[in-house]
């Protein structure tokens, strides 16, 4: 495997298809080798139009400098091989001018940590944040009406982690490949948490899921959705932080879903930037005077029930005063009262400005020009998972869910 002579993208895809097929056969025989990991794709955001920078070998090398991989192009532009001291690590696949995917077959727990460390240490990279709202719309638009007899898998997870400011980070609590619980954190802490994994036929899930979410909104926080493969067994697990696990014998089919979802995601991101970027432009009037034309609109996050004061203060302290957690924001909070905080901060992805007004009833965000719209996806995803699972998000007067739905269905 380490000495594969892959001269084209198609040859690499043939290799990954063959690998995926072999893993599916091992699963069917219940003989999956400990060292035979599933194929995984990690979807990453760079920046708006990538600043006009080409995704050439030198740029990719700078992106992954922290992990010291050897990067070499395969075939034409936009596809690269990554090696380390142990041999082939995987492939870097340029999906658009601002998104790339890293395909690998190495063991999940190890690679999850490598990719998380790479992103968290780099201002150039961010995850593809698929919130519970986003995954629910993928369920409704791609699966529910078109695959009624197929099996689908959901994993729901909402954790009230900001109720405990001693929490030190995100980190998944289990391996996504083995399903084994981690025992690294043995301290007993009482906090609200709702976790459920469901595998059932699509037509059955479509009947009980709305009722489940109406009774307990925690189950709007979808952590993973397994999309059934096209005309073959298995499927592709899309995780809320942009990871895709291939549990099907066809790599190309799963990559097709990933590419389609990434394209619609980019359109949502660009729409957010077009609508929200605040800027002032001088306008010259006919009488020789000047005036300022302000453009842009705020993003609002409304909570159906105000947050408990402890949760609100825990979020502010952990995110801004301690610099912890998944929001990747930095700033000095200005406490106007116990229930109102202003933050003139920085988004640690690209180090661009963001202005926030925070109250227990909701958050308001203002993005100056050049702040990446991916920031909003990150906020929606992590607010749903860790603060308020039924948060309502608006870009100006238009709901985030409607924007996503329109892009998924119509592309406009």
Residue 50: per-residue pLDDT: 54
Residues paired with residue 81 on neighbouring β-strands, in sequence order? 72, 91
Domain with CATH 3.30.310 in the chain: 276-409
Fold observed for domain 9-127:
Double Stranded RNA Binding Domain (3.30.160)
Residue written as token pair 């996503």: 404
Residue 55: per-residue pLDDT: 83
Domain with CATH 3.30.160 in the chain: 9-127
Q: How far apart are CA 264 and CA 43, in angstroms?
A: 13
Radius of gyration of the chain (CA): 22
DSSP assignment of 228-293 equals EPTTSS-EEEEETTSEEEEESS-HHHHHHHHHHHHHHHHHHHHHHHHHH-BEEEEEE-TTS-EEEE
Q: pLDDT by residue for the chain (412 residues), tens digit each?
A: 555 778 899 999 999 999 998 877 666 665 555 555 899 999 999 987 655 567 889 999 999 999 989 999 998 778 999 999 999 999 999 999 899 999 999 999 999 999 999 999 999 999 999 999 999 999 999 999 999 999 999 999 998 878 755 544 444 444 454 433 443 343 444 455 678 999 999 999 999 999 999 999 999 999 999 999 998 889 999 999 999 999 999 999 999 999 999 999 999 999 999 999 876 555 555 666 655 455 679 999 999 999 999 999 999 999 998 888 889 999 999 999 999 999 999 999 999 999 999 999 999 999 998 899 999 999 999 999 999 999 999 999 999 999 999 998 877 6
CA dist list (Å): 131 to 51, 179, 319, 401:
26, 22, 19, 10
DSSP assignment of 167-229 equals ------SB-TTT-PBP-S--------EEEEEEEEEHHHHHHHHHHHHHH-GGGG-EEEEEEEP
Residue 49: per-residue pLDDT: 61
Residue 180: per-residue pLDDT: 39
Residue 292: per-residue pLDDT: 45
Tell me the three state secondary structure of residue 28.
Answer: helix
pTM of the model as a whole: 0.89
Residue 41: per-residue pLDDT: 98
Any idea which architecture 276-409 has in CATH?
2-Layer Sandwich (3.30)
Contact indicator for 303, 388 with CB cutoff of 8 Å: yes
């Amino acid at each position: 495997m380490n000495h594969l002579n892959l001269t084209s993208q198609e040859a690499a895809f043939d290799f990954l298809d063959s690998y995926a097929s072999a893993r599916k056969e091992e699963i069917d025989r219940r003989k999956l080798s400990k060292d035979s990991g599933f194929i995984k794709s990690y979807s990453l955001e760079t920046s708006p139009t990538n600043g006009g920078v080409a995704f050439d070998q030198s740029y990719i090398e700078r992106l992954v400098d922290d992990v010291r991989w050897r990067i070499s192009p395969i075939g034409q532009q936009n596809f690269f091989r990554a090696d380390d001291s142990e041999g082939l690590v995987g492939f870097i696949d340029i999906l658009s001018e601002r998104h790339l995917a890293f395909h690998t077959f190495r063991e999940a727990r190890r690679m999850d940590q490598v990719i998380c460390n790479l992103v968290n240490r780099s201002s150039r990279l961010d995850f593809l944040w698929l919130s519970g709202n986003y995954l629910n719309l993928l369920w409704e638009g791609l699966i529910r009406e078109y695959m009624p007899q197929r099996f689908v898998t959901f994993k729901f997870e909402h954790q009230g982690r900001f109720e405990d400011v001693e929490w030190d980070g995100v980190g998944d609590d289990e391996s996504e490949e083995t399903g084994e619980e981690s025992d690294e954190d043995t301290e007993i802490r009482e906090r609200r948490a709702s976790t459920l994994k469901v595998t059932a036929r699509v037509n059955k899930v479509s009947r009980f899921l709305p009722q489940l979410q109406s009774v307990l909104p925690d189950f709007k926080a979808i952590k993973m959705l397994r999309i059934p493969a096209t005309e073959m067994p298995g499927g592709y697990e899309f995780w809320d932080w942009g990871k895709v696990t291939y549990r099907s014998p066809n790599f190309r089919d799963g990559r097709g879903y990933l590419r389609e979802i990434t394209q619609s995601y980019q359109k949502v991101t660009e729409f957010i930037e077009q609508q929200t970027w605040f800027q002032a432009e001088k306008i010259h009037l006919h009488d020789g005077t000047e005036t300022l034309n302000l453009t842009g609109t705020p993003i609002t996050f409304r909570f159906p029930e105000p947050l408990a004061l402890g949760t609100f203060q825990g979020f502010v302290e952990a995110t801004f005063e301690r610099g912890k957690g998944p929001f990747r924001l930095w700033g000095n909070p200005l406490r106007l009262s116990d229930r109102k905080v202003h933050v003139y901060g920085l988004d640690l992805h690209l180090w661009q400005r963001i202005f926030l007004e925070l109250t227990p009833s909701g958050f308001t965000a203002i993005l100056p020009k050049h702040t990446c719209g991916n920031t909003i996806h990150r906020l929606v995803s992590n607010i749903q998972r860790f603060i308020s699972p039924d948060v309502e998000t608006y870009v100006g007067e238009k709901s985030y869910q409607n924007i996503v739905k329109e892009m998924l269905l119509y592309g406009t």
